[in-house]
Amino acid sequence: MTAISSSTAPNGLPIHRVQLDGTRAVTVLVAFDAGARTERPEENGMAHFLEHLVFKGGEKYVTYRDVNETAENLGAQLNAYTSHDLVAFHITTRAETALEAIDLLTDFVGRPRLDAEELDRERGVVIQEIARANDQPSTVAEHLIDRAAFGDHPLGRPVLGPAEHLRDTFTREAIVAFRERQWAGARGGAFLVGNLAHLPDDGTLERLFDRFPTIAANGSYEPVQPFAPRTLVEERDSNQSHLRMSYRPKIDVGDRRARAALAIYSTLLGGSMGSRLFDEIREQRGLAYSVYALSHAFADVPILQLSAGLESGKAVEAYARMREIVTELRDEGPTQEEVARARSYAAGARVLAFENTNAVARYGATQTIVFGEPVDPDAAIAALDAVTYDEVAQVAREIADELAIAVVGPHSAADFA
């Protein structure tokens, strides 16, 4: 069994320790319920921009060079991510330097300088990142399907935001105000995962994590709206197309068992080389070079997304057959054998992922901050192992034939009616 313990810093930030035997590494991750879905319309892109800015230095490690060179001197890998759900900062290092890594991370993330000159310099960097994303048809398709499924809700907006926000409206004062609204200890968490033998148990960790400001949990996210799917096409003169299809499954996202059943359903549908989509769309029909399905649960809504990258002349046929496969699973149900195989594959993939301390830390952040459930990687694996055929068949029956569609390529919306 994984040894797990928790404490709380004076500022209200929970600190979760997850001891994993057999590793020499430690991942330290701090996350907050301050992702893109917590932004107001005029703030779209701010959560991601703030993620960039804190790396410019804190009180002890004053410049970006201090931050980067200290991490390298520790032999550590330092990074961050912003999603619709969360903003998170993480460092993975050898166990012997874990305390120094925590000192570094809590300084520049907990006490960032947010220097005005660095802010202006970083604008151009993020604007280039946005431009690069807009040059990649697969990324454009991801943005389109979010908008087709969620409209003008924050979940329908890109995490990077529009370039004009970076150019015109993101002042230092607005960024500080967003941070003070969303980075509350009670809506975040620190996760220490791996070999914890070199970490003290004398209050030192609590004092380091207390570098984050004491902020009341006064922010929130906008609840999701009823499903009103659309078909959106960005016409491009190309030989290749990118197709996305998004369903809204009828499951309770607050039920871990239901989320596990949806994960197994999406695995048998398109999550492996033995899945229905891969076998028929790619292998039997040769309609796509890339085809897959994935599921995701936000705090209040699940999604099931089907994706394909393919020759443009085959896009309409592939779309029609992919939709038919979902219908067949709804009407006829999956077979016992494919549920068993998908369950084994999904649980096995989770086991292999959890060999990585960073993956366990990321899982823990989502589990506790988004769903309010305990950090327990063993329970995550057990939940997949325990899903029954009937639970997966029930998920399949309740995937309604109502979907959002997004396509990038030489098409019109009428092609996918």
**Contacts for 367 with CB less than 8 Å, ≥ 6 apart:** 373, 374, 375, 376, 380
Q: What is the pLDDT of residue 417?
A: 86
From the list 176, 253, 39, 143, the residue with the least C-alpha distance to 262 is 253
Q: Distance from CA of residue 417 to its chain's centroid?
A: 30
pLDDT < 70 positions in the chain: 1
**Contacts for 343 with CB less than 8 Å, ≥ 6 apart:** 264, 267, 384, 385, 387, 392
d(CA 248, CA 108): 39
Could you give all domains of the chain from N- to C-terminal order, each with its CATH number? Answer: 3-209 (3.30.830.10), 231-416 (3.30.830.10)
Would you say 381 and 351 are in contact if contact means Cβ atoms under 8 Å apart? yes
Tokens in use for 125? 């960097």
From the list 72, 146, 82, the residue with the least C-alpha distance to 104 is 72
Q: What is the pLDDT of residue 1?
A: 66
Would you say 74 and 104 are in contact if contact means Cβ atoms under 8 Å apart? yes
Would you say 29 and 369 are in contact if contact means Cβ atoms under 8 Å apart? no
Q: What is the pLDDT of residue 215?
A: 80
Question: What's the whole-model pTM score?
Answer: 0.95
Angle between helix 116-135 and 137-150 (nearest 10): 100
Burial of 167 (0-12, 13-18, 19+ CB in 10 A): exposed
**Contacts for 347 with CB less than 8 Å, ≥ 6 apart:** 381, 384, 385
DSSP class of 377: H
d(CA 180, CA 177): 5
Query: Among all chains, which residue has been given the structure tokens 């998004």?
Result: 246
Q: What is the pLDDT of residue 229?
A: 98
Q: Distance from CA of residue 66 to its chain's centroid?
A: 29
